[in-house]
């Protein structure tokens, strides 16, 4: 793996990341990129969707043919579950570490994950239910099914799916929504006439969801 840019911050858990503080809200938007992305990919979504939120954007630590990811997969849509669990633990530790380093409230972190990033955000909700205050999952799959479901206790979760997604089926999306609801999450499922890449309608839906559940980051 090549050396990170000099301006990219590091913590002791070795995530290259961006930290962009904002004083108008205590909420932190955790941006989790898709396969082949990096810590800069989703940063423009911060001011576009949640102009009052601070932004924490890590780079995935796994490489697949040179492309960063947050966890390994065995094939398209087939996840290496032990690695997913270990990497989710690692990301949870990073958030705690970053909270201590930058002085933000670890209970005010909202994830926005795209594809691979959405899948590890979903795993975070299922394996570390106290870490995220909410999550937007953009084009996710079911990351795993834990032996015992957590109590998400009304945690707001938005799933943003494409009707013509060439990688994620309708059944997979509905299965994830059902799984999150069984865990007690307050799930909003939004469908757009799009494929795996997100479009403007997705952005409008995400901003509307944030307005309802985390209005302080929008107003």
**How do residues 42-83 score in pLDDT, each as one tens digit?**
999 999 999 999 999 999 999 999 999 999 988 888 899 999
Task: Tell me if 7 is assigned to some domain.
Answer: no
pTM for this structure? 0.92
- Per the CB < 8 A criterion, the answer to whether 18 and 9 are in contact is yes
What is the rounded distance in angstroms from the CA atom of residue 160 to the CA atom of residue 163? 10
Task: Tell me if 24 is assigned to some domain.
Answer: yes
CATH of the domain at 177: 3.40.50.1820
Q: How confident is the model at residue 29 (pLDDT cuts 50, 70, 90)?
A: very high
Q: How many CB atoms lie within 10 A of CB 217?
A: 25
Please check the confidence at residue 186 and state whether its pLDDT lies above 70.
yes
Predicted pLDDT of residue 1: 38
Please check the confidence at residue 11 and state whether its pLDDT lies above 60.
no
Predicted pLDDT of residue 100: 94
Q: For 146-159, what is the mean pLDDT?
A: 96
Q: How many CB atoms lie within 10 A of CB 82?
A: 11
State the chain's mean pLDDT as an integer: 92
Q: For 150-175, what is the mean pLDDT?
A: 96
What is the rounded distance in angstroms from the CA atom of residue 154 to the CA atom of residue 184? 6
**Nearby residues of 98 by Cβ (< 8 Å), 6 or more positions away:** 11, 17, 19, 56, 104
**How do residues 93-107 score in pLDDT, each as one tens digit?**
999 999 999 999 999
Q: Count how many domains the chain has.
A: 1
Task: Tell me if 186 is assigned to some domain.
Answer: yes
Domain that holds residue 48: 17-217
Task: Tell me if 5 is assigned to some domain.
Answer: no
How far does Cα 169 stand from its chain's mean position?
19
Q: For 16-38, what is the mean pLDDT?
A: 94
Task: Tell me if 6 is assigned to some domain.
Answer: no
Task: Tell me if 78 is assigned to some domain.
Answer: yes
Q: Which residues are catalytic?
A: 115, 165, 196
Q: What angle do CA 142, 144, 145 make, to 5 degrees?
A: 105
Task: Tell me if 130 is assigned to some domain.
Answer: yes
Q: Which of 49, 52, 44, 48 is nearest to 206 (CA)?
A: 49
Task: Tell me if 10 is assigned to some domain.
Answer: no
């Amino acid at each position: 793996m090549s050396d990170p840019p000099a301006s990219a911050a590091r913590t002791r858990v070795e995530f290259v990341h961006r930290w962009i503080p904002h004083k108008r809200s205590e909420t932190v938007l955790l941006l989790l990129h898709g396969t082949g992305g990096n810590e800069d990919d989703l940063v423009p979504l911060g001011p576009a969707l949640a102009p009052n939120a601070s932004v924490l954007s890590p780079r995935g630590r796994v490489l697949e043919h040179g492309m960063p990811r947050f966890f390994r997969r065995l094939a398209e849509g087939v996840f290496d579950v032990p690695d997913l669990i270990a990497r989710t633990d690692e990301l949870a530790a990073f958030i705690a570490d970053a909270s201590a380093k930058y002085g933000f409230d670890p209970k005010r972190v909202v994830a926005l994950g795209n594809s691979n990033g959405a899948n590890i955000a979903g795993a975070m909700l299922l394996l570390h239910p106290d870490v995220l205050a909410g999550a937007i999952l953009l084009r996710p799959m079911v990351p795993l099914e834990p032996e015992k479901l957590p109590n998400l206790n009304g945690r707001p979760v938005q799933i943003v799916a494409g009707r013509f997604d060439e990688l994620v089926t309708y059944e997979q999306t509905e299965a994830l929504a059902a799984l999150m609801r069984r865990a007690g999450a307050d799930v909003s499922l939004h469908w757009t006439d799009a494929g795996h890449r997100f479009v403007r309608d997705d952005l409008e839906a995400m901003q509307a969801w944030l307005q309802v559940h985390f209005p302080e980051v929008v107003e």
